[in-house]
Amino acid sequence: MIEIFTTGGTIDKVYFDALSEYQVGPSAVAAILRDNNVHAPHRVTQLMRKDSLELTDDDRAAICQAVAASEAARILVTHGTDTMVETARALAGIEGKTVVLTGALQPATLKHSDAEFNIGFALAAAQTLSPGVYVAMNGQVLDPSRTRKDREAGRFVAD
Amino acid sequence: MIEIFTTGGTIDKVYFDALSEYQVGPSAVAAILRDNNVHAPHRVTQLMRKDSLELTDDDRAAICQAVAASEAARILVTHGTDTMVETARALAGIEGKTVVLTGALQPATLKHSDAEFNIGFALAAAQTLSPGVYVAMNGQVLDPSRTRKDREAGRFVAD
Amino acid sequence: MIEIFTTGGTIDKVYFDALSEYQVGPSAVAAILRDNNVHAPHRVTQLMRKDSLELTDDDRAAICQAVAASEAARILVTHGTDTMVETARALAGIEGKTVVLTGALQPATLKHSDAEFNIGFALAAAQTLSPGVYVAMNGQVLDPSRTRKDREAGRFVAD
Amino acid sequence: MIEIFTTGGTIDKVYFDALSEYQVGPSAVAAILRDNNVHAPHRVTQLMRKDSLELTDDDRAAICQAVAASEAARILVTHGTDTMVETARALAGIEGKTVVLTGALQPATLKHSDAEFNIGFALAAAQTLSPGVYVAMNGQVLDPSRTRKDREAGRFVAD
């Protein structure tokens, strides 16, 4: 079974007209898996609902704790892209698990979003990669220790 | 580099009002990779543009030939779902290459399509799996020799 | 109250993978009105579910009968575009009612469809125009007696 | 010819990942008309690009001036929904023109947006209504002097 932890981020941003702004909403990943008829057994757990620029050390500790405590050998974490590498590096100590972090540069609610493609890509990566921690963005499997987000280019690059 | 061969299928069906019908159109995969900012080097070659129920033995031979002749070690083939397993089995003899077949149950032109998710999933599978031939549908990596399409359920299942 | 009669047409075409083809499905207009938070009182009645090239004289008579018998002064008819003008001309005799026919050149299920725009346009036309029969397509209110569909151009033009 | 003035608002909000936020972007209406194959002659002029809560008295004066100076008899104004009624009331003095204000509660860039429906609806209203100033939202033509936006209900209601 694939364990999926959601933490928020752009992928889950929803527009609230009454507030005239975008806020992180319910996670998009469960609906994406359902809409794409994914039958691989999986469980989705929301850990928090934050823009990744607002994640605290306590939040990162909670993410690490959840991943370490999971009985699953294969874990997907959806996360904001701005500090995805930081969280991935914090997960480096965990052994015996394949952990893949992904997210999106454009909210899943947008007509043109990379959310569905990224979730599909990351799900396959989580199913096939040997144990370790990976960032899966822009159609690439990346080593967090040698990756950073290039904000202007809108993609992740090797450091 | 990932070599991508397109053969047609539902994923590429486009509605032509002047004909009052749906026909296989230009392949959707190149646009999907571009729209999702995929920088992994890749090349897309259209082999044919057919509903997979209409593929002939010559068509299958052409697909096998293109895959065998490719210098790439990792190959993605987009294909109609109805005879995807048949083509995958025809590719079984080819060695030293990771070949992943995928497609979609709903055309990429539809609001609700599994095309983007499946292409993302299959691309990761092509990048990570060891040499062999695989069908990637419904968020699962499947062994063609033990897989069939369940038309009523709208998914691929183990035989 | 706006009375809405649906007859089928491209606007309502849905892709059925198990049949490998597109067929006229449930009408899209009710969902479009709901999704766009339309509170103007309205009722939707499906008269038939056909491609307009397949409408018979009996079908047209049934459409005329339903429109004539309606107590509503303002009526919207969704219809295939190929013979929309023909049906509009058949409705010419009916008095005291504003009847607007519309449809779409691309099914509502497509990412790029004119369905929502056309329904919005036609709804306003039905609410504001004086009694008579009109075709509302391509952002224009057209007189059916001097209009035809230009298939190549994908639009309706003055005859 | 239909004169179209754009002022910003939710309809034109675009997500900028590099800024981690939504901002009013280029107007959506020109693309909506093009994508829906609208051949009715029209011109689109961007007056400003603001959330309507940020429009100043000078902005409103500029909008009134542009509408008054236009040679067109039929004018569409796209506008944020929060102060659409206020701007509509400011336009009340202008004679001999049909002026319709519309916008959207969800940005045009969203999968589920009322933008296309509203633009279609408002365009028809602009083409058919007699001179005066109107608010066109939620599938209704409303008199600005007796209308307000109900933020919780996400719609415009009679006062």
Write the pLDDT tens digit of every residue in B37-79: 998 899 999 999 999 999 999 999 999 999 999 999 999 999 9
Q: Which contacts qualify for D56-65: CB closer than 8 Å, 24 or more apart?
A: D59/D7, D60/D86, D60/D87, D60/D90, D63/D5, D63/D7, D63/D87, D63/D90, D63/D91, D64/D90, D64/D91, D64/D93, D64/D94
- pLDDT number for residue B19: 75
- pLDDT number for residue B132: 98
Write the pLDDT tens digit of every residue in B81-128: 999 999 999 999 899 999 999 999 999 999 999 999 999 999 999 999
CATH of the domain at D23: 3.40.50.1170
* Chain A residues with CB-CB distance to B127 below 8 A: 140-141
A154 lies within 8 A of chain D by CB: yes
Helix (H, G, I), strand (E, B) or coil at B140: strand
User: Phi and psi dihedrals of B74, rounded to 5?
Assistant: -130, 125
Of D32, D40, D155, the CB nearest to C117: D32
Q: Of C131, C129, C102, which is closest to residue C117 (Cα–Cα)?
A: C102
Chain B residue closest in CA terms to C149: B18
Entry pTM: 0.94
**Per the CB < 8 Å rule, is D10 touching A13?**
no
User: Phi and psi dihedrals of A142, rounded to 5?
Assistant: -120, 145
Question: How far, in Å, CA of D40 to CA of D38, rounded?
Answer: 6
Catalytic choice (B10, B78, B81, B102): B10
- State the pLDDT confidence band at C22, using cuts at 50, 70 and 90: confident
B105 lies within 8 A of chain C by CB: yes
C140 lies within 8 A of chain D by CB: yes
Write the pLDDT tens digit of every residue in D113-159: 999 999 999 999 999 999 999 999 999 999 999 999 998 888 999 88
Structure tokens belonging to residue C114: 């004119």
* Chain A residues with CB-CB distance to D154 below 8 A: 17-18
Question: What share of chain D has pLDDT > 70, as a percent?
Answer: 100
- pLDDT number for residue B153: 85
* CA distance between the termini of chain B: 33
Task: Give the angle subtended at the CA of A34 by the CAs of A50 and A94, to the nearest 5°.
Answer: 50
Of C18, C51, C111, the CB nearest to B110: C111
Which site among A121, A149, A151 would you substitute to test the B interface, given the most B Cβ atoms closer than 10 Å to its Cβ? A121
Please identify which residue in the block is written with the tokens 């575009």. Answer: C81
Helix (H, G, I), strand (E, B) or coil at D134: strand
Write the pLDDT tens digit of every residue in D51-80: 999 999 999 999 999 999 999 999 999 999
B69 lies within 8 A of chain C by CB: no
The question of ipTM being above 0.85 is answered as yes
CB A45 within 8 A of CB A6: yes
**Per the CB < 8 Å rule, is A37 touching B120?**
no
Residues facing B75 on adjacent strands: B3, B99
Question: How far, in Å, CA of C36 to CA of D156, rounded?
Answer: 12
CB D63 within 8 A of CB D77: yes
Write the pLDDT tens digit of every residue in A80-136: 999 999 999 999 989 999 999 999 999 999 999 999 999 999 999 999 999 999 999
C110 lies within 8 A of chain D by CB: no
| Residue D10 appears among annotated catalytic residues | yes
**Per the CB < 8 Å rule, is A120 touching B116?**
yes
> Which chains share 3+ C-beta pairs under 8 angstroms with C?
B, D
- pLDDT number for residue D30: 95
C130 lies within 8 A of chain D by CB: no
* Chain B residues with CB-CB distance to C15 below 8 A: 10, 13, 22, 106-107, 110
Q: How many domains does chain C have?
A: 1
- pLDDT number for residue A70: 98
Which residue range(s) make up the domain with B149? 2-158
Catalytic choice (A10, A78, A81, A98): A10
- State the pLDDT confidence band at C21, using cuts at 50, 70 and 90: confident
Question: How far, in Å, CA of B10 to CA of B21, rounded?
Answer: 13
Contacts of B61 (CB under 8 A, 6+ apart): none
**Per the CB < 8 Å rule, is D21 touching A17?**
no
Which site among B34, B36, B123 would you substitute to test the A interface, given the most A Cβ atoms closer than 10 Å to its Cβ? B36
Residues facing C98 on adjacent strands: C74, C132
User: Phi and psi dihedrals of B20, rounded to 5?
Assistant: 55, 35
Burial D128-155 (b: 16+ CB within 10 A, else e): bbeebbbbbbbbbbbebeebebeeeeeb
B73 lies within 8 A of chain A by CB: no
Write the pLDDT tens digit of every residue in D83-100: 999 999 999 989 999 999
Task: Give the angle subtended at the CA of C8 by the CAs of B11 and C61, to the nearest 5°.
Answer: 160
Please identify which residue in the block is written with the tokens 């018979």. Answer: C56
**Per the CB < 8 Å rule, is A154 touching D10?**
no
